[in-house]
Chain A
Amino acid sequence: MRRIAAILGAGLLAAAGLGWFLSAPQPLPAGRIAAAPGDAARGARIFWVGGCASCHAAKGAKGDDRLKLGGGAPLETALGTFQAPNISPGPDGIGGWSLADFANAMQRGISPDGRHYYPAFPYASYARMQPADIADLWAFMRTLPPVAGQPAEGRIGFPWNIRRGIGLWKRAFLSDAPVVALPADASPAARAGQYLVEGPGHCGECHTPRTLSGLGGLDRGRWLAGAAAAEGEGKVPGIAPGRLKWTAAEIADYLETGFTPDYDSVGGTMVAVQANMAMLPDADRAAIAAYLKAVPAQP
């Protein structure tokens, strides 16, 4: 009897140890962090593609207020309330960080003190970004105005409030590999768009349904097929061929102006996203449109 208890105890300990081992943060290897200093001017483009302001600037911020990254509105979801923190370059933000700290946050979802971030912060997409783009973005963020204060913490229910568990989620769902295999004859624009959409643009985070009833990673078989909105009762539309019938020119025009071909307008959380997309060079919007025409159709 005592022997069985000892075996059971040892088994439990081993399972706990394995869980602890598997859920440990996995920082980037040194070779995945840019050695050359970033360029702030180039980083501005990455900032707008990445949509940082949509969650980290105040709700409804317009113009230069989108550069004040003090926290932003909480994200109210079925799992609880997620709060984007102050990422301005001041003492209350990320002023004390190094490029390596920033890269590990962006691409591995790890804070400088080794805690996991929730994947509401779309590092599972940012993981596909080039180290040089991370360095350029970092250089740009250092030029932004510092903002004082920290928003109230988010509130997540048990068991999702045990952050260590996110390490297991990352084991299953965090990858820097491309999502779709484009056809061999895909245009250079479509390939450029693939990087923008699957990486910094993180479009799939809202436009693709998740596995495990919404708890898992993005369902690659239903890539960009549309999904339930994270907040409220709305739907995020599908944007893969078969779901979105617009031409490439119409998609690029929508991203620039916020108007559909029928002159319906952008709405909801896409308003802030479209305002970001409008800041990009024409070629980037055309590339995104070319990619959206080249991905597998969704019925």
Chain B
Amino acid sequence: MKLHAALVAGLVLCVAGPALAQGGPIAARQALMKANGRDAKAGGDMLKGAVPFDAGNAQAILANMADVARKFGTHFPKGSNTGDTEAAPAIWEKPADWQAALTKFQKDTAAAVAMKPATAADFGKAFGMVTANCKSCHEGFRIKKG
């Protein structure tokens, strides 16, 4: 078990480490969204039947997303709006709207975790509620540059 945890920690360091080592809020928030995307893909693959449904994995995905939702908003300090970032100026120009979007993401992910979905159908509901946040937030707060 300890070995397992160490392996996971090592893996996280390998993936997130380079980003965090360069430092700065831009790298940190990008690493969080990358992790979020991997979890979303894992959840989507289960719902599409590309991989078999597993309640433990499903709940872990939701827990990871709730964790991202708690941390994500802390990585947008003033001055981190320029550079290699797709964060939209609206994040700093409309802080109340931004905060509302972050709060909704936290609320929805926490509610999804609390549902403890045990079937694919229930997971689909929780996952749909969480991933609706992706579009609504990216509509106003992300600018595609690539």
Across the interface, do A262 and B37 meet the contact criterion of CB distance under 8 Å?
A: yes
Q: Which residues of A contact B37 (CB under 8 A)?
A: 262-264
Min Cβ gap B85→A in Å is: 11
A 252-264 binary contact with B (CB < 8 Å = 1; else 0): 0000001100111
Known: A259-B44, A263-B37. A60 touches B146 (CB 8 A): no
Across the interface, do A263 and B139 meet the contact criterion of CB distance under 8 Å?
A: no
A109–B123 Cα gap in the complex (Å)?
49
Contact of B145 among A60, A234, A262 (CB under 8 A): A234
**Stretch of B16-24, B72-80, B110-118, B130-138 with 4 or more beta carbons under 8 angstroms from chain A:** B130-138
Main secondary structure of the interface of A (DSSP, over half): loop
B 118-146 binary contact with A (CB < 8 Å = 1; else 0): 00000000000001001110111011111
Across the interface, do B138 and A266 meet the contact criterion of CB distance under 8 Å?
A: yes
Verify if A299 is at the interface (C-beta below 8 Å from B): no
Q: Which residues of A contact B41 (CB under 8 A)?
A: 262-263
Interface footprint category on A: 20 to 34
Across the interface, do B144 and A265 meet the contact criterion of CB distance under 8 Å?
A: no
A274–B138 Cα gap in the complex (Å)?
13
Min Cβ gap B10→A in Å is: 24
Interface footprint category on B: 20 to 34
Verify if A96 is at the interface (C-beta below 8 Å from B): no
Main secondary structure of the interface of B (DSSP, over half): helix
Q: Which residues of A contact B143 (CB under 8 A)?
A: 229, 232-234, 267-268
Min Cβ gap A11→B in Å is: 50
Min Cβ gap B32→A in Å is: 14
Q: Which of B35-85 contact A (CB under 8 A)?
A: 37-38, 40-41, 43-44
A235–B142 Cα gap in the complex (Å)?
11
Verify if A27 is at the interface (C-beta below 8 Å from B): no
Contact of A235 among B134, B140, B144 (CB under 8 A): B144
A235–B37 Cα gap in the complex (Å)?
21
Q: Which residues of A contact B134 (CB under 8 A)?
A: 258-259, 265
Q: Which residues of B contact A232 (CB under 8 A)?
A: 88-89, 143
Across the interface, do B144 and A271 meet the contact criterion of CB distance under 8 Å?
A: no
A70–B40 Cα gap in the complex (Å)?
37
A267–B142 Cα gap in the complex (Å)?
7
Known: A262-B41, A264-B37. A235 touches B135 (CB 8 A): no
Min Cβ gap A269→B in Å is: 8
A274–B136 Cα gap in the complex (Å)?
12
Across the interface, do B135 and A265 meet the contact criterion of CB distance under 8 Å?
A: yes
Verify if A90 is at the interface (C-beta below 8 Å from B): no
Q: Which residues of B contact A262 (CB under 8 A)?
A: 37, 41
Across the interface, do B142 and A268 meet the contact criterion of CB distance under 8 Å?
A: yes
Across the interface, do B145 and A271 meet the contact criterion of CB distance under 8 Å?
A: no
Q: Which residues of A contact B144 (CB under 8 A)?
A: 234-237, 267-268
A 4-23 binary contact with B (CB < 8 Å = 1; else 0): 00000000000000000000
A268–B142 Cα gap in the complex (Å)?
7
A266–B40 Cα gap in the complex (Å)?
14
Min Cβ gap B91→A in Å is: 13
Across the interface, do A267 and B138 meet the contact criterion of CB distance under 8 Å?
A: yes
A258–B44 Cα gap in the complex (Å)?
12
A287–B38 Cα gap in the complex (Å)?
29
Across the interface, do A235 and B145 meet the contact criterion of CB distance under 8 Å?
A: yes
Known: A262-B37, A263-B40, A263-B44. A268 touches B146 (CB 8 A): no
Residues on A facing B (Cβ under 8 Å): 60, 229, 232-237, 258-259, 262-268, 271-272, 274
Residues on B facing A (Cβ under 8 Å): 37-38, 40-41, 43-44, 88-89, 131, 134-136, 138-140, 142-146
5 cross-chain pairs, A with B, having the tightest CB-CB distances, nearest first: A267-B138, A265-B134, A263-B40, A263-B41, A271-B139
Task: Show 10 A/B contacts (Cβ-Cβ < 8 Å), sorted by A.
Answer: A233-B143, A233-B145, A235-B144, A237-B144, A259-B44, A259-B131, A263-B38, A263-B41, A267-B135, A267-B139
Q: A267-B138, A268-B142 are in contact. List 4 more A-B contacts (CB 8 A).
A: A234-B145, A259-B131, A259-B134, A265-B131
